[in-house]
Amino acid sequence: MFRMRQYLGIGLILALLCVTVGPALANELAEQQQQVQQQMQVQQEKTEQAKRKVNSVAEQLHKVQLELDNAQGDYKAIQAKLSATEEQITVNTAVLSKAEKNLSERSLVLNKRIRDIYQNGQLSYLDVLFGANDFGDFTTRMDLLKRIMNKDIELIVKVKAERELILQKKVELENDKAAIVQLENAAKEKKRIIESSKKEREAVLASAVNERDTAEQSYQELLETSRKIEQMIRRNQGSQQGPSGSGALMWPTDVTEITSPYGWRTHPIFGTSRYHSGIDIGADYGDSVRAADSGVVIYADWMGGYGKAVIVDHGNGMSTLYAHNSELLVGEGQRVRKGEVVSRVGSTGYSTGPHLHFEVRQNGSPVSPMEYLP
C-alpha cells in the first residue's frame, strides 16, 4: 500500500512537471527517479540477502554443533564400552590363567590316581568291608571308602569344570578381542566425524569474517540477542520467592585470566570495534563453570551467537550469564548453590576458541563484572 502511494505520488509529480517544465525535462527527471528506485531496490535486496545469510550462519552453527554433540556423545559411549571390554579381557585373562593352573595341578593328581589303579588293580570295596574284624572296624572301613570315592568323584568333577571354564573363557576372550577391533574402528569413524564437524564450523565462521555485510549483520544479531536476554530477565524478575544470592560474586572458573575485557574492543571474529557486554575468561575446554552466586536457572539452552548459555537469577535485580559452553549441566527452574558446577567451558556460537564469556546484569542490562568480582 505504501509503495502504491509512492508510485501514485511520483506519477502525479511527473504529470505536473510535463505541464510546467516540458516533456524533455520531465523524461530526464523520470529516468533519474527510476535509477534511484532501482538503486534502492538493489540495496534492499542486499540487506535482505545479508539478513538471510546471518540467519543461515546462526542456523548452520547450531546444526553443526548438534552434529558435533551427537558425534562426541557417541564417541564417549564407544570409549566407555571399549574401556569396559578391555577390563573384561583383563579379568577373563586372569581367570583363564588361574583355571589353567588349577587344571594342571588337578590333572597331575588325577593322573597319579589312575596310574595307581592301573598298576595295583581296582580295589575291591567288598573285600575291604568283609575283612573287618568287628562292627567298629567295619564302620571305620566304610567311612574311609566313602571318603576315597567322594574324593575321586570330586576330583573328576573339578577337572571337568576347569576344562569347561577354560573353553568358555577362551571363547569370551576371542569375542572380546573381536569387539575391541569393531569398537576401535567405530571410534575412529566418530573421531573423523568430530574433526569434520569442527572444520565445517570453522568454515562457517570464516565466511562470516570474510564478508563485511554478513559480519555486520552477525554483530547486529548479537545485539538483538542481548536485548532479548534483557527482556527475558526482566520478565523473570520476581518469579522466585525472595532473593537467593548473597550479592558477593565469586569467580566462575578456577582461571582468573581475562582475555577480553568489558566494554569497547576489537571483535576477534568481525575485526571491528564492538561493544563487549561481558568479560572473556581464558579457561580451557571442559573446565568447570560454577555459579558465581546462589540463585535460580532461568535459561539453559542454545542462544544464537552466545552458543550454549546459562543464565542464573540471583534476586535483587542481579543475574549472571555464562556463554560458549561445551556442555550444560543444569536445567531451567533449577536452584543452584554458589560454587555449584553449571556447565563446561567450550567454544560454541560465535567463538574462535575455548573460553568463558561471563556477564553480570542488573535489571537485565549488562554492567561491568569487575565491579562485583573479588
Instruction: Report residue 339 as a C-alpha cell.
Output: 560454587
Q: How does DSSP assign 291-339, residue by residue? A: -SSSEEEEEEEE-GGG-EEEEEEEETTEEEEEEEEEEE---TT-EE-TT
Name the band, by pLDDT with cuts 50, 70 and 90, for residue 365: very high
Same domain? For 77 and 206 the reply is yes
Residue 105's pLDDT is: 75
Look at the pTM and tell me if it is higher than 0.75: no
How many domains in the chain? 2
Burial readout 311-326 (b: 16 or more C-beta within 10 A, e: otherwise): bbbbbebbbbbbbbbb
Residue 114 lies in a domain: yes
For the chain, give the mean pLDDT.
Answer: 76
Same domain? For 139 and 255 the reply is no
250 phi, psi to nearest 5 deg: -110, 160
Question: What's the whole-number mean pLDDT along residues 192-218?
Answer: 68
Question: What's the whole-number mean pLDDT along residues 210-228?
Answer: 68
Residue type, 187: A
15 phi, psi to nearest 5 deg: -65, -40
Q: Which region holds residue 238: left if phi is over 0, alpha if psi is between -120 and 50, else beta?
A: left
Could you tell me the residue range of the domain that residue 142 belongs to?
67-210
Residues 6+ apart with CB under 8 A from 110: 155, 156, 159
Residue 24 lies in a domain: no
Residue 27 lies in a domain: no
Residue 35 lies in a domain: no
Instruction: In whole angstroms, give the CA distance from residue 303 to residue 318.
Output: 20
> Which 8-state DSSP code applies to residue 22?
-
Residue 52 lies in a domain: no
Residue after which a domain boundary falls, among 190, 210, 230 = 210
Same domain? For 254 and 174 the reply is no
Question: What's the whole-number mean pLDDT along residues 33-62?
Answer: 56
Residue 295 lies in a domain: yes
Instruction: In whole angstroms, give the CA distance from residue 347 to residue 205.
Output: 12
Same domain? For 146 and 264 the reply is no
Name the band, by pLDDT with cuts 50, 70 and 90, for residue 285: very high
Residue 46 lies in a domain: no
107 within 8 A of 100, measured Cβ to Cβ: no
Which residues, in sequence order, are bridge partners of residue 312? Answer: 297, 320
Same domain? For 168 and 277 the reply is no
pLDDT per residue over 107-155, tens digit each? 776 677 666 655 555 555 555 555 656 666 567 656 665 666 666 667 6
What CATH number has the domain bearing residue 272?
2.70.70.10
Instruction: In whole angstroms, give the CA distance from residue 34 to residue 60.
Output: 38
Same domain? For 197 and 83 the reply is yes
Q: How much of the chain, in percent, has pLDDT values that exceed 90? A: 27
C-alpha distances in angstroms, 110 versus 91, 285, 330? 28, 62, 64
Same domain? For 201 and 333 the reply is no
Residue after which a domain boundary falls, among 160, 188, 210 = 210
Residue after which a domain boundary falls, among 210, 227, 261 = 210
What CATH number has the domain bearing residue 129?
1.10.287
**DSSP H helical segments within the chain, as ranges?**
2-20, 23-120, 125-130, 135-210, 212-236
pLDDT greater than 50 at residue 355: yes
302 phi, psi to nearest 5 deg: -70, 140
Same domain? For 272 and 360 the reply is yes
